[in-house]
Amino acid sequence: MTDEHEASERTADPAVSADMTDQPAVMLSTFTPDLYVQYFRDLQDMIAGGQAPTPQANVQAMSRYATDFARKPEG
């Protein structure tokens, strides 16, 4: 799906984008489910509960969100 929009000059809002030239600009936006919003809530709860945000605790929390961690190659 392609939508065309006319962008005006940048405002004070940092989330606003504008093309400041006379040339057309292309912006690619992707949207994903809010699955990871709960991940950040889980981290907040973990820290508020006194659990240290160790790499192991982070991996355990992330494992509930269909995410595999890449490991550095050995050697």
Tell me whether residue 26 is in a domain: no
CA–CA distance, 10 with 17 (Å, rounded to integer): 6
The overall average pLDDT reported for the chain is 77
Count how many domains the chain has. Answer: 1
Local confidence pLDDT in tens for the 75 residues of the chain = 667 766 566 555 556 667 678 888 877 776 767 778 888 889 899 999 999 888 888 888 888 887 766 666 676
Instruction: Provide DSSP, 18-52.
Output: ---SSS----------THHHHHHHHHHHHHHTT--
Tell me whether residue 10 is in a domain: no
Task: Tell me which residue has tokens 């929009």.
Answer: 5
What's the domain range around 41?
35-65
Tell me whether residue 21 is in a domain: no
Tell me whether residue 59 is in a domain: yes
Query: Model-level pTM?
Result: 0.47
